[in-house]
Amino acid sequence: MKNRVPEHIEQAVIDLAIENPALGQLRASNELLQRGIIVSSSGVRSVWLRNGLETFKKRLKALEAKSAQDGILLTEEQLQALEKAKQEKEAHGEIETEHPGYLGSQDTYYVGTMKGVGRIYQQTFVDTYSRVAFACLYTEKNAVTAAHALNESVIPWFEERDTPLLRILTDRGTEYCGKIEHHAYQLYLAIEDVDHTRTKARSPQTNGICERFHRTMKQEFRKRRYLGRYFAAKSPSKTRRL
């Protein structure tokens, strides 16, 4: 085919894409040049396009597939690329989960104001694998209440099932983030040996799994409220006989 690189060069480009998926087309071209293979950056991209490797995400998938198929031992660069991709996905609300306790999602939801009580906040936790959810109500939104929800409801549930909670995803709210020595939530996670991933800063993407739970919860409450009013209106009025 016209302008197509020789087969051995195409294979070298594919191999490098899987070997180091983080390299862009220019850096890949330079790396191949150091190995004695001459191919332009546009040539690299053409090979990627033909083989479905034109994005970092697709190259990572190819690496994961090859690792699973051949059982290859990943290099430090490959492991870093996979870990970076995983953190980016979670930070943008894309969840990868493997078993209960692998990743929990926690968020704060403003319920409303109750007369005589004040503002009501809900600490929500969802296990991303089993979709088991916890909701705890508080009159304050801070690190103490965020940690209390885990300590009183979430962690005991996992302990009863002899399943460790490995990691939690939250936004960057002050109830979840701060210096560990002065922050109740951070300190609690450290004591329980739970890793903490935060959503990406200045991004419209947020903690999607908790948001979906909140939407479902609101829809169910509205439905029940509507049905309650509907049946109340349909019920025959009781008249008092004289």
Distance CA 53, CA 94 (A): 20
Which H or E element spans position 114?
Answer: strand 104-114
Angle, helices 25-34 vs 41-50, to 10°: value is 110
Identity of the residue numbered 83: E
Angstrom CA distances, 217 to 41, 71, 224, stand at 51, 44, 11
Could you give the CA distance from residue 17 to residue 48 in angstroms, rounded to a whole number?
8
Tokens of 62: 């190819």
Range list of H helices, 92-239: 143-149, 155-160, 184-192, 208-234
As a whole number, mean pLDDT of residues 154-158 equals 96
Q: Tell me which range, 49-58, 134-143, 201-210, is most confidently predicted by mean pLDDT.
A: 134-143
pLDDT at 83: 65
Task: Give yes or no for residue 1 having a pLDDT over 60.
Answer: no
Lowest-confidence segment of 102-106, 154-158, 172-176, 211-215 by average pLDDT: 211-215
Q: What is the pLDDT of residue 62?
A: 84
* Token output for 242: 């004289």
207 in Cβ contact with 171 (< 8 Å): yes
Q: Answer whether residue 205 shows pLDDT above 60.
A: no
Residues 6+ apart with CB under 8 A from 218: none
Give CA–CA dist 46/53, Å, rounded.
10
pLDDT on residue 239: 43
Mean pLDDT within 174-181: 90
Lowest mean pLDDT among 2-16, 87-101, 119-133: 87-101
Query: How far is 102 from 61, CA to CA, in rounded Å?
Result: 21
